[in-house]
């Protein structure tokens, strides 16, 4: 007879307070709690009112999200009554909570999961310190007031120590004095802050990793007062198993560029295909948050840190599936594709920029012109321009290989009983990356491009048409280059025919 779930038993009847509940990780976390811990207490969600929508209205739209389809197969929408929206903002004083709402949290919450953060690598220190550092400090202040707090779970990032190429599951020394940084943010103008930013960041690649590093120390300061745990995910990608393989609502990382590649818009991608790319499925992240919290709550105080990563346990390299990517995209095409999909990896930014001029910007100008003529809104040139401008910021993350040792996570997985190992799986040793990326592509097709299985036949018919257009385009483009060579050399077209194979080889190289 199988053992009962110890993780589920711990969380049964407990009340949660979750920040960042409407984000990628947050939605998956909420779904997992409602589906796998049916007798959970209340789940209080810190939510910002959006323009024209109060938080109650936003919550009512939850059940429309595809991630909840599996949950609603066995439950009615009454299951969402466990979710309690609380108006607030981690970037505001006292988390933007009304006194009465704060008191409700103080009196009732047992588990805090802090997931909210600003992830924009372009942000300067002012918003990132306000949200990532001071927001975490305010969450920890609330935790200290909660009457019956069992555990505090902080969602960090494996890249908080990205100035090191190899890291362990421990708290590294602060890169700068937190109070000094806060003082500079409060006192300096935007221009002055921009000037001193490189000196403050030192070896940190951006303000995100820097402020998330400082945020971990905010958590550590409370570790002797109540149980705390920090989970550091790497690049979070679509689900592996639950609630369905391939679910995603994020366009960050491989999901975003596969979305563009499937449409035929993204045709070249700068990356070091032989390097380890540390991807971790979002359902594994969510499970580790819950399991880490369960484990930490066994102690009265203390801090445990877990790397929720794949680089040292089940490493992925793009060269492992380089040939399969095209097969997958052509086997499961998009009806909304605008060009025949053909993705190639390039190993330098210089080569990418050269090739992008030919295979991205020229087609983008032509397609935008066609869209404008038909009354649509041209976006392709602007999209590629934005990618072009972001490359310098992302270069380190594109071409650097990190190794995040996850000894604690492996040990944590080994301590789970058989039931919890299946219900709250965190061991990724059995993941098959080729199969995973097939499901990720199907998830991108279904959830980011909103194309159901019923569109597949139409998509395949359109793909054949786009292939014909692609071939004609290549022939015309090569003829144009041949003509230009003839003009520049003063030769006839026949005399310069030798240039055609050379030009084609060069074109394929790009």
Q: Report the alpha-carbon distance of residue 5 to residue 318 in Å, rounded.
A: 37
Q: Report the alpha-carbon distance of residue 58 to residue 48 in Å, rounded.
A: 9
Per-residue pLDDT at 243: 96
Contact predicate 45/84, CB 8 Å: yes
Per-residue pLDDT at 47: 93
pLDDT tens-digit series, residues 374-411? 888 888 888 888 888 777 777 888 899 999 999 999 99
Confidence check: pLDDT of 50 > 80: no
Task: Tell me whether residue 207 is in a domain.
Answer: yes
405 — phi, psi (to 5°)?
A: -70, 130
Overall average pLDDT of the 234-249 stretch: 97
Residue 471 and residue 411 in one domain: no
Confidence check: pLDDT of 134 > 60: yes
Task: Tell me whether residue 498 is in a domain.
Answer: yes
pLDDT tens-digit series, residues 435-450? 999 999 999 999 999 9
Residue 159 and residue 220 in one domain: yes
Structure tokens at 209: 């990793």
Per-residue pLDDT at 395: 82
Helix, strand, or coil (residue 345): strand
CA angle 238, 439, 403 (to 5 degrees): 50
Per-residue pLDDT at 391: 77
Closest CA to 286 of 18, 9, 467: 18
Q: Report the alpha-carbon distance of residue 239 to residue 436 in Å, rounded.
A: 9
Q: Report the alpha-carbon distance of residue 344 to residue 392 in Å, rounded.
A: 20
Overall average pLDDT of the 164-170 stretch: 96
Overall average pLDDT of the 111-121 stretch: 90
A 10 A CB-CB count for 191 gives 7
Per-residue pLDDT at 287: 98
Mean pLDDT rounded to a whole number for the chain: 92
Structure tokens at 348: 């330098």
Residue 457 and residue 481 in one domain: yes
Task: Tell me whether residue 217 is in a domain.
Answer: yes
Confidence check: pLDDT of 26 > 70: yes
Residue 411 and residue 468 in one domain: no
Contact predicate 306/231, CB 8 Å: yes
Per-residue pLDDT at 53: 72
Bridge partners (DSSP) listed for residue 47: 87
Task: Tell me whether residue 32 is in a domain.
Answer: yes
Overall average pLDDT of the 322-347 stretch: 93
Structure tokens at 241: 């198993």
Closest CA to 381 of 399, 354, 363, 397: 363
Per-residue pLDDT at 1: 53
pLDDT tens-digit series, residues 349-382? 888 898 888 888 888 888 888 888 888 888 888 8
pTM of the predicted structure, to 2 decimals? 0.93
Range of the domain at 221: 6-243+277-314+401-448
Residue 459 and residue 438 in one domain: no
Per-residue pLDDT at 132: 96
Residue 460 and residue 423 in one domain: no
* Helix 433-443, helix 254-262: angle, nearest 10: 60
Residue 130 and residue 198 in one domain: yes
Cis peptide before 243 (omega within 30 of 0): yes
Structure tokens at 89: 């903002």
Task: Tell me whether residue 262 is in a domain.
Answer: no
Contacts of residue 492, defined as CB under 8 A and 6 or more positions apart, other chains included, come to: 486
Q: Report the alpha-carbon distance of residue 339 to residue 343 in Å, rounded.
A: 11
Overall average pLDDT of the 469-490 stretch: 89
For tokens 């445990």, name the residue: 304
Contact predicate 314/428, CB 8 Å: yes
Residue 139 and residue 194 in one domain: yes
Per-residue pLDDT at 107: 98
Contact predicate 61/22, CB 8 Å: no
Overall average pLDDT of the 137-155 stretch: 97
pLDDT tens-digit series, residues 4-25? 999 999 999 999 999 999 999 9
Residue 406 and residue 502 in one domain: no
Closest CA to 433 of 422, 441, 444, 424: 441
Q: Report the alpha-carbon distance of residue 175 to residue 214 in Å, rounded.
A: 8
Contact predicate 121/204, CB 8 Å: no
Residue 424 and residue 470 in one domain: no
Half-sphere CA count of 322, side-chain side, radius 13 A: 14
Output the furthest CA–CA distance in the chain (Å, rounded). 88
Closest CA to 298 of 3, 2, 7: 7
Give the residue with greater pLDDT, 503 vs 292: 292
As for how many domains the chain has, the answer is 2
Q: Report the alpha-carbon distance of residue 352 to residue 346 in Å, rounded.
A: 6
Per-residue pLDDT at 192: 93
Which CATH number does the domain housing residue 426 bear? 3.40.50.720
Bridge partners (DSSP) listed for residue 152: 112, 228
Task: Tell me whether residue 390 is in a domain.
Answer: no
Closest CA to 396 of 248, 208, 215: 208
Residue 510 and residue 426 in one domain: no
Confidence check: pLDDT of 169 > 90: yes
Closest CA to 154 of 11, 22, 31, 304: 304
Closest CA to 415 of 426, 405, 404, 406: 426
Confidence check: pLDDT of 52 > 70: no
Share of the chain above pLDDT 90, in %: 72
Q: Report the alpha-carbon distance of residue 303 to residue 133 in Å, rounded.
A: 18
Structure tokens at 400: 């650097």
Residue 440 and residue 457 in one domain: no
Task: Tell me whether residue 328 is in a domain.
Answer: no
Closest CA to 71 of 41, 37, 45, 44: 37
Q: Which of 12-21, 209-218, 259-268, 431-440 is least confident?
A: 259-268
Closest CA to 394 of 100, 121, 184, 40: 121
Task: Tell me whether residue 133 is in a domain.
Answer: yes
């Amino acid at each position: 007879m199988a053992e009962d779930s110890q993780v589920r038993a711990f969380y049964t009847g407990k009340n949660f307070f979750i920040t960042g509940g409407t984000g990628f990780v947050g939605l998956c976390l909420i779904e997992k709690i409602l589906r796998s811990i049916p007798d959970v207490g209340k789940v209080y969600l810190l939510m910002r009112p959006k323009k024209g929508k109060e938080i109650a209205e936003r919550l009512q739209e939850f059940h429309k999200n595809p991630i909840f389809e599996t949950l609603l197969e066995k439950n009615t929408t009454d299951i969402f009554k466990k979710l309690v929206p609380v108006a607030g903002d981690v970037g505001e004083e006292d988390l933007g909570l009304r006194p009465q709402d704060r008191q409700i949290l103080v009196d009732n919450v047992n588990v805090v999961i802090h997931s909210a953060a600003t992830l924009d690598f372009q942000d300067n220190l002012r918003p990132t310190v306000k949200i990532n550092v001071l927001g975490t400090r305010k969450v920890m202040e609330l935790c200290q007031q909660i009457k019956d707090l069992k555990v505090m779970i902080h969602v960090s990032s494996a890249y908080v120590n990205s100035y090191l190429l190899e890291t362990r599951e421990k708290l590294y020394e602060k890169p700068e004095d937190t109070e000094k940084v806060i003082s500079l943010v409060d006192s300096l103008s935007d221009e002055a802050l921009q000037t001193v930013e490189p000196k403050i960041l030192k070896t940190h690649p951006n303000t995100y990793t820097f402020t998330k590093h400082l945020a971990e120390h905010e958590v550590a300061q409370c570790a002797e007062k109540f149980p705390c745990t920090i989970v550091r995910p790497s690049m979070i990608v679509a689900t592996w198993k639950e609630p369905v393989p391939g679910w995603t609502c994020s366009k960050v990382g491989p999901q975003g560029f596969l979305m563009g590649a499937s449409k035929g818009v993204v045709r070249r991608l700068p990356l070091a295909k032989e390097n380890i790319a540390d991807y971790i499925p979002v359902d594994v992240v969510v499970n580790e948050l819950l399991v880490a919290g369960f484990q930490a709550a066994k102690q009265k105080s203390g801090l445990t840190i877990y790397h929720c990563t794949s680089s040292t346990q089940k490493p992925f390299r793009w060269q492992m599936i380089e040939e399969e990517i095209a097969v997958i995209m052509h086997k499961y095409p998009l009806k909304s594709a605008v060009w025949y999909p053909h993705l190639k990896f390039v190993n330098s930014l210089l080569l990418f920029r050269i090739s992008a001029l030919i295979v991205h910007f020229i087609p983008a100008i032509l397609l935008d012109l066609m869209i404008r003529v038909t009354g649509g809104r041209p976006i392709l040139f602007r999209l590629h321009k934005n990618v072009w401008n972001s490359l310098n910021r992302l270069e380190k993350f594109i071409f650097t290989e990190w190794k995040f040792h996850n000894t604690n996570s492996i040990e944590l997985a080994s301590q789970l009983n058989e039931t919890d190992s299946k219900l709250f799986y965190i061991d990724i040793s059995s993941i098959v990356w080729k199969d995973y990326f097939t499901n990720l592509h199907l998830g991108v097709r279904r959830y980011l491009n909103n194309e159901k299985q019923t569109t597949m036949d139409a998509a395949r018919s359109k793909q054949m048409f786009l292939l014909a257009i692609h071939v004609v385009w290549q022939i015309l483009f090569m003829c144009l280059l041949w003509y230009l060579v003839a003009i520049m050399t003063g030769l006839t077209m026949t005399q310069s025919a030798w240039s055609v194979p050379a030009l084609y080889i060069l074109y394929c190289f790009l």
